[in-house]
Amino acid sequence: MKRIDNLYDKICCVENLFLADERARKGKLWQFGVKTYDLNRQNNIKSLYQMLRDETYKTSDYKIFKIFEPKERIIYSLPYFPDRIVHHAIMNVLEPIFVSTFTKD
């Protein structure tokens, strides 16, 4: 098994955070959280980078609500900034590793 080093540095990279922001906002430009975030986009990315570098980032509380159509379900939602951006940043780095590891051909 091959060991892959420095994954945290790749996740915290500013370029990766900007790419994660682009992927997280896709199809959500009309949402309140994205509009609020866009008012100070550069500084928000820089503060997220600093939180990750200093290891002070903590996941926000989930917003929990019920929907009834097409059937009753409970939905757990995280805010756009910083959680969804961090999730996309992690997947930007880990997805190629997972695909190459779990796919034989």
Is the pLDDT reported for residue 68 higher than 90?
yes
Tokens of 64: 């929990």
**Residues whose CB falls within 8 Å of the CB of residue 95, separated by 6 or more in sequence, listed in order:** none
Instruction: Give kind and range of the element (H or E) at residue 74.
Output: strand 73-77
Residue 100 confidence (pLDDT) above 90: no
> How large is the C-alpha radius of gyration of the chain?
16
Percentage of the chain modeled with pLDDT above 90: 69
Between strands 63-67 and 73-77, the pairing is antiparallel
Q: How confident is the prediction for the chain on average, in pLDDT? A: 91
CA distances from 6 to 13, 36, 38, 68 (A): 11, 33, 30, 44
Q: What is the pLDDT of residue 19?
A: 96
Tens-place pLDDT, residues 51-67: 999 999 999 999 999 99
pLDDT digits (tens, 9 = 90+) for 11-27: 999 999 999 999 999 98
Is the sign of the CA dihedral 82, 85, 87, 92 positive or negative?
A: negative
